[in-house]
Structure 1
Amino acid sequence: MSVSLSVVVLLAIVVFVLLRNGALRVLPALATAGLGFFLASTGAAAPINAAAGGLAALLAQISL
C-alpha cells in the first residue's frame, strides 16, 4: 500500500509540474487519468501492481 501511495504522489507531482510548465495540456491529462482509472478496474491491474512492486523491491536492493 505504501508503494502505491508513494507512486501516486510522485506521479501527481510530475503531472502538476508538467501542467504548470505548459508541457501537458488539461484535456490529454484528463484522458490519461481516465485511462488509468479504468485500467485499474481491469484484469491488467494485478500484473501492473506486481511489476511496480518488483521494481520497488529492485530499487530498494540497489540502494543498499
Structure 2
Amino acid sequence: MNVSFPLWMVLAAVMWLAWRYMSLRAWHAVVCLLFGFFLAATNAAPEIRRVVTAVLQSLTKTHS
C-alpha cells in the first residue's frame, strides 16, 4: 500500500511542530513563508524543484 503526502503538507507540519515545541515566533514563520514565496519567483525555482524532486525520488525508491 502506497501512502503519499504533498511536500507542502510535510513542510507545514514541520513548521507547526517548530512553532509548538521550539518557540518559533509568528514573525519567524511569516519570514519563512515570504522567503519561499519570493524564492519561487526567481530563476532558481526550476533548479530547486528539480533537486528536491531528485532527492525525494531517491529517498522513496524501493530497494529490491
- Please tell me the TM-score bracket, short chain as reference: 0.7 to 0.9
Q: CA RMSD in A?
A: 1.8
TM-score normalised to structure 2 length: 0.80
Q: Which runs of 5+ in 2 are unaligned?
A: none
1: CA distance, partners of 2:23 / 2:13: 14
SS in 2 for 1:42: coil
Deviation, structure 1 residue 23: 2.5
* 1:2-61 deviation line (CA, Å, top 9, x unaligned): x8x711100000111111224311111100110000100110100000001100111122
Larger radius of gyration: 2
The percent of aligned pairs where both chains have the same amino acid is 28
1: CA distance, partners of 2:54 / 2:20: 32
Question: Could you say which structure has the higher helix fraction?
Answer: 1
What residue in structure 2 maps to residue 28 of structure 1? 28
